[in-house]
Structure 1
Amino acid sequence: MKSRRSFIGKSALLAGAALLGKSFQVNGQPAEAPVPLPSLKGRKVMFLFGGWDGHEPTKFRDYMVPWMENEGATVSVYDNLDPYTDKQLMANTDLIVQIFTMSQITQEQEKGLLEAVKNGTGMAGWHGGMCDAFRNNTEYQFMTGGQWVAHPGGVIDYSVQVTDQMDAITSGLSDFNISSEQYYMHVDPNVKVLATTTFSGEHSPWIDGCVMPVTWKKMYGKGRIFYTSLGHNLSHVLMSPNGMTMIKRGIQWASDSKYGPAENWVRPIYKG
């Protein structure tokens, strides 16, 4: 009984640390708590928007850019991908936020983007604006960690499960419901998954019960990558505040790519 009570006590303290972001001790030892998110103050951010209008790139620009500026970032806004070819500009950029669904990228543009991220520039994005942007470019997909392939049923009601309460991006966030596109994706097995969703099989019976990552973070070279499949429309994530909170926190985390320590993890799904 004593060991069971001890276990319950430790679990409660760890849960409190996750929810409150404070330091606790268990048996005199500090319990692990989420690393505080960095500020956007002083960060140089590149916001690129365009591609398919159905994902509302202009509305997201008008919402996200003022928020980042209010947080202290200097934001340069572009409606094309040509900045990716400017080596000096890319080297001086702390964070790239891109929404360019179903678009094409030139070889020179892709090379500039990949090189900058490998060297430490962070990247953050959501939905098809990041992981359904350049369907023919597999190295780009290797960088982002996933590629959209389907959204059975279109806009539907579904739930999102927060699976990592010890990460600062999702700390204190509870599971939530959302009405939007439930993305079925091909996902890199070595991303750090922060939230998932489970398919019901109502629209595609053969995937009934499939658990799919919704939000993740990863590294590409020295660059931090944040992605969430939420965000088909701006109103969808604004009506589900936990979703917008994840996006904003992910942007903060990725913006520290050049300044914070690299986060290394290898979580192979398939055992050798």
Structure 2
Amino acid sequence: MTRRRALVVRGGWEGHEPVRATELFLPFLERSGYAVRIEESTDVYADAAEMAGTDLVVQCVTMSQITPEQVAGLCAAVVAGTGFTGWHGGIVDSFRMSSDYLHLVGGQFATHPGKEPCERRGGAEDNFLPHTVRVTDLGRQHPITAGIPDIELVTEQYWVLHDDLIEVLATTTHPAQPWQPWHRPVTSPAIWTRQWGAGRVVVTTPGHSLDVLEHPSIRTVIERGMVWATRTASA
């Protein structure tokens, strides 16, 4: 029986620990029957033959840059059926200058609101807020999030700019605080899928640090998302 092929692409901003973060999920992929290839750059996206034989791309590349040839190769592979997934800035804050990449993913990190200014001490924790990731009605029926309760976290809460071609499985709401410039609560998608050609895209926005990725519900969602996004027999 032919093993499914997963490509793990990692790099970019080291603050998201792309090596340690992706290595959390390698045992799951291997147990699930994937042959795993790891790349430390996006050069592989421009290799048409390699991408055509890849069933799933797991990306963890925050910020960074991508060439037109590389993003075209990634997009073509997804259109042809390759699954594409990732978490947090590794997928939704990647390649800010590439409109084609943003079009593929369907959403873009805008900010993560912080604590009240008087409580900030200059560290990453200034942006760690208690918040809830709420599973939507659609999410309660979807294979990725079915049975997952609403998730309580204290970490970065992503505010995402997005289009309406995404299927939102979970949301998070940013309250209107006196020190913020917005005047009413704003709800952002926190977990979503996107059909792109014959391919499936899955985005999970929580995942700033290893402890968040090891949260049982977040880890389950990411692992289920990998399986769900993988190329289907008809693709």
Same fold (TM over 0.5): yes
1:241 matched to which residue of 2?
216
Unaligned runs of 5+ in 1: 1-40, 262-272
1:102 matched to which residue of 2?
63
Give 3-state SS (helix, strand or coil) of 1:130's partner: helix
- Superposition misfits of 4+ residues, deviation over 4 angstroms: none
Paired positions, count: 219
Distance apart, 1:207 and its partner CA: 5.3
Matches within 5 A, 1:6-21: none
Unaligned runs of 5+ in 2: 115-126
Give the alignment partner of residue 196 of structure 2, picking from 193, 200, 220: 220
Aligned: 1:190 with 2:190: no
Aligned CA RMSD, in angstroms, stands at 1.5
Contact 2:63 2:94 in 1 (8 A): yes
Measured in 2, the distance between the counterparts of 1:207 and 1:115 equals 41
Give 3-state SS (helix, strand or coil) of 1:136's partner: coil
1:93 matched to which residue of 2?
54
Larger radius of gyration: 1
Contact 2:21 2:213 in 1 (8 A): no
Aligned: 1:47 with 2:20: no
Distance apart, 1:66 and its partner CA: 2.0
Give the alignment partner of residue 71 of structure 1, picking from 32, 40, 46: 32
Distance apart, 1:260 and its partner CA: 5.5
Per-residue Cα deviation, 1:188-245 (whole angstroms, up to 9, x for no partner): 212100001111223625154211110000111111000011101121231x311111
Contact 2:28 2:223 in 1 (8 A): no
Matches within 5 A, 1:113-192: 113-153=74-114, 154-163=127-136, 164-192=139-167
Contact 2:201 2:229 in 1 (8 A): yes
Give 3-state SS (helix, strand or coil) of 2:45's partner: helix
Letter in 2 for 1:144: V
% same residue: 40
Measured in 2, the distance between the counterparts of 1:201 and 1:244 equals 29
